[in-house]
Structure 1
Amino acid sequence: MRPRSMATKGSSHRSRSNRRRSKRARRPSREAEPTPSGPTGVHHIPDHLLELVLLRVGTPLALLRAASTCKRWRRLIFTDDAPFPDHRFRRSLRAARVAGHYHVDGNNHIFVPDPSAADGLDRRHFSLDFLPAVPHGSLPWELADSRGGLLLFYRRDVVYYRMGHVWEGDPEYLHFPDMVVCDPLNRRYQGILYWEEMWPYQCLGLFLLDAAAADEPAAGGSSIGMSNFRVVAVVYESDVFEDDRGAPRACVFSSGGDGGWRQESTAGDDVPIPEYRSISFAGRARSSFFWRMEHEGAVLALDDATIQFSLVTFPSTVVGTPEESSAFWAIGGGDGAARIVRVMANNDLTVFQQLQSSGEWVVEKLVRLPEATSGLSGREETYFQQPAKIVATTTRHVLVTPQEETWIFSVDLETLEVDRAHERNRYAGAAYPFELPWAPALRVDHRRHRGRMDLTI
């Protein structure tokens, strides 16, 4: 006969309660599939455990790829109640979409992958060999701007006709070129003819804009594509009474069935600006484009949402005095703050940030270029006798060269490290970011890459 248990009534009750709690603890998540009796896979992991796995993904680009795996993983990463609503993650994920930059090198446009994305990208997908051939008598396509996964090119004629005279290759007399918007990943392009009404004007810049607000997709998607892009042409209209004064105009081209050119801004008369030659583009930040104007106390700005011009006054400590006509660049960051990058007279590369709470400009970062470049290969003692020049800027890097000789190096704005070895430092032209579309398709090519995941179109 089996002996009777010596447990008390109270201990039996606690034992049953423990068993019930244990059963509840083992109960699968409502959103996960029931655990089968046979072999299990990754789709049987409960949501709360899968979240812990995704939180440990090494890089934003890898997390972006993970979100492209299936609807469930995308929901866990992007929904408001997911563990990823932190604004720092949102910034890093957007940064992860930047696959690289197209660098201008003479008549060539070279795609340089971002270091965090280089291992997963095939450069052949970013080739521009599909662009249409230029007509006889025209110069090659020139890169004007990028937005999302689109590029904007324009072409100039070798000979321009003005006032009955022939002018050989001087861009000053380029009033309006033909343009092409292209999608390198899908190898598609759309040509845009210049608007005849803009022919009397001189061109200050051509830029891509996101889709109109009514056409914008839900959060997480791309806001620009071949079917909904816009192009803004900023032009200069001379004053008929003053030779050295004028006014800006903005003309917008919209794609789609009812697209075409139209003049958006008619407030140019209220924003007088100096002669065309004294104006140069100074970058974009926080939904605005900026132009520096020599010997002027203000900066010309265009709001890309309202398509309205204004004159913005920056502190002289940020952009220099009008007499200095110093070069500065406006750059944007993932946090939405406006920043100005400038090389000071003493060769301090200084990043100014505007505080959103007060509007005050403060020094955010500073790199003493002569000291920071000391010991780099090719560095000469004669460098930095004059203020260095900014060659190009991105949200992460600034490319700089001494005035004495073209010796390009880059400054990482996050780590403040100075670098001469990266491929981006080989090109003295502008750099244009290229973002991956959302969501990128993934494939595994076992024949060529032995199982490595590649972004495909």
Structure 2
Amino acid sequence: MRARWMATKGSPRRSRCNYTRRRKKRASPSTPSGPTGVHHLPDHLLELVLLRVGTPVALLRAASTCKRWRRLIFTDDEAFLARLRRSLGAARVPGHYHVDDGNNGHVFVPDTDSSALDRRHFSLDFLPAVPRGSLPWELADSRGGLLLFHRRDAVYHRMGSVWEGDPEYLHFPDMVVCDPLNRRCQGILYWEAMWSYRCLGLFLLDGAAADDAPAGGGSSIGMSNFRVVAVIYESDVFEDDRGAPRACVFSSGGDGGWRQESTAGGDVPVPEYASISFAGRARSSLFWRMEHEGAVLALDEAAIQFSLVTLPCTVVGTPEESSAFRVIGGDDDGAARVVRVTANNDLTVFRQLQSSGEWVVEKLLRLQQATCGLPGRKETYFERPAKLVATTRRHVLVTPEEETWIFSVDLERLEVDRAHERNRYAGAAYPFELPWPPAGSVAG
């Protein structure tokens, strides 16, 4: 055993202790001599940190920290981009375009956590000029980062006729789709075959995959692949107070023009045009409320098919009540929700269970008590059921029936607010979704 550790003739003498120390020195990782910080994190751990950033605005600020962070955030790795979009979720909606009945027309109102956005990026001053004597562009819908506008009197102006119809009746109009961040727009001329029909609504739909569609997930919609569906009302030739809905769908062509994609209808009887009003969107379906009817009109966006959906009276009220309600999209669970103000002024959110289809009360707020102490609140308010002004997934704008006194309700926290800017606008609100990665910075 002793001879095993003796040096061989002609070879250098080797110490076992020195050999062990050298092995340990090579195996130990390299550590900074000074204090460590976030910049010492490896890329795969830093990516996990970035995935927990709450808003796109915060990510844009993080990208300006250093070249390394910018490289990771604006990566070409589609797998990481998909995870980033999922982590942002609803936070990609920094605010809503509100319809202003005053002189401003349409106003972009950031949400509370997006107050640092530079509003100049959301300006609509690039919309095409309207002919002299025509009504201005009206916002009809939004989807992803696109907005859809129409001109209510375009057909009559083109035909040289004097406007004599009811301004609440919308006939098949001229339209324009715009991308505010990139200041691009594309006009859509009205379809001559449909000019005489009254319109129940104009909506943006996702299109097929395109070069500018986001990679790795998210809304498949862009200026080169969007679709528009115009829902029109066709009167019954035998009954003056009955009719049927029709859907005219158009898609952007590869040459930048438009073509008719399909029409759909079917024998779905509906009451007179004036008694139908749009109620909201959820689960890739559009919904209309019909006064004194025991069902709701629905249009499946994917199949372009109409149907009548019966909802419980406890959710939408009885046909005799003609109560107002709104359908809103669900949260991450995808459940459909209905917001309604009951006769005793309870703002109630109903949620449909996916497992059984049953409707349950998810949230309830007693408006009369919740608004006590708010500036401008009068004792005469809420003697009649309040009215829903506008709804989003997060907020509901409400006003008493007695007087326009708009306040908003946060549906997550069930809190009322009179101070937010959104309460100044009595028109509808349309969400605007930031693309990711963005084409340019939108932060201030």
- Distance change (3 Å), C-alpha of 1:24 and 1:248: farther
Q: What does the per-residue CA deviation read over 1:74-125, in whole Å, with 9 as the maximum and x for residues that have no partner?
A: 679984799x69xxx93x6122211211111115111111211111x11111
Q: Which residue number in structure 1 is paired with residue 267 of structure 2? A: 270
Aligned partners of 2:352 and 2:358 also within 8 Å: yes
Cα distance in 1 for residues equivalent to 2:161 and 2:183: 39
Cα distance in 2 for residues equivalent to 1:260 and 1:58: 39
Q: Secondary structure at the match of 2:230?
A: strand
Q: Which residue number in structure 2 is paired with residue 439 of structure 1? A: 437
Q: Secondary structure at the match of 1:116?
A: helix
Give the superposition deviation at 1:143. 0.7
How many pairs are equivalent? 418
Mind listing any 5+ residue stretches in structure 2 that lack a counterpart? 1-15
Q: Which amino acid aligns with 2:228?
A: V
Runs of 4+ deviating beyond 4 Å: 15-20, 22-25, 35-44, 58-61, 63-71, 73-78, 158-161, 164-167, 213-217
Is 1:290 paired with 2:287? yes
TM-score by length of 1: 0.82
Equivalent of 1:95 in 80, 90, 94: 90
Q: What does the per-residue CA deviation read over 1:321-353, in whole Å, with 9 as the maximum and x for residues that have no partner?
A: 111111100001342211000001110000011
Cα distance in 2 for residues equivalent to 1:402 and 1:317: 22
Cα distance in 2 for residues equivalent to 1:337 and 1:113: 26
Equivalent of 2:29 in 15, 21, 26: 26
Aligned partners of 2:214 and 2:435 also within 8 Å: no
Aligned partners of 1:280 and 1:291 also within 8 Å: yes
Give the superposition deviation at 1:264. 2.5
Aligned partners of 1:298 and 1:313 also within 8 Å: yes
Cα distance in 1 for residues equivalent to 2:80 and 2:181: 31
Indicate the percent of aligned positions where both proteins have the same amino acid. Answer: 78
- Distance change (3 Å), C-alpha of 1:75 and 1:379: same
Give the superposition deviation at 1:63. 4.3
1:25-424 matches, cutoff 5 A: 26=29, 45-51=41-47, 53-54=49-50, 57=53, 59=55, 61-63=57-59, 66=62, 70=70, 72-73=72-73, 79=79, 90=86, 93-106=88-101, 108-119=105-116, 121-157=117-153, 160=156, 167-168=163-164, 170-212=166-208, 217-257=214-254, 259-262=257-260, 264-266=262-264, 268-335=265-332, 336-424=334-422
Aligned partners of 2:60 and 2:443 also within 8 Å: no
Q: Secondary structure at the match of 1:424?
A: helix
Q: Secondary structure at the match of 1:95?
A: helix
Q: Which amino acid aligns with 2:115?
A: A
- Distance change (3 Å), C-alpha of 1:51 and 1:25: farther
Q: What does the per-residue CA deviation read over 1:118-154, in whole Å, with 9 as the maximum and x for residues that have no partner?
A: 11x1111111111111112211111111111111111
- Distance change (3 Å), C-alpha of 1:364 and 1:135: same
- Distance change (3 Å), C-alpha of 1:232 and 1:23: farther
TM-score by length of 2: 0.84
Name whichever of 46-55 and 318-327 sits farther off.
46-55
Cα distance in 1 for residues equivalent to 2:169 and 2:399: 30
Aligned partners of 1:265 and 1:308 also within 8 Å: no
Cα distance in 2 for residues equivalent to 1:397 and 1:292: 20
- Distance change (3 Å), C-alpha of 1:171 and 1:78: same
Q: What does the per-residue CA deviation read over 1:273-317, in whole Å, with 9 as the maximum and x for residues that have no partner?
A: 111111000010111110000111110001111111111111111
Aligned partners of 1:64 and 1:93 also within 8 Å: no
Q: Secondary structure at the match of 1:212?
A: coil
Q: Which amino acid aligns with 1:93?
A: L
Name whichever of 73-82 and 214-223 sits farther off.
73-82
Cα distance in 2 for residues equivalent to 1:116 and 1:403: 31
Cα distance in 2 for residues equivalent to 1:248 and 1:43: 60
Cα distance in 1 for residues equivalent to 2:114 and 2:144: 16
Aligned partners of 1:137 and 1:159 also within 8 Å: no
Aligned partners of 1:160 and 1:173 also within 8 Å: no
- Distance change (3 Å), C-alpha of 1:303 and 1:65: farther
Give the superposition deviation at 1:165. 8.7
Mind listing any 5+ residue stretches in structure 1 that lack a counterpart? 1-11, 28-34, 444-453
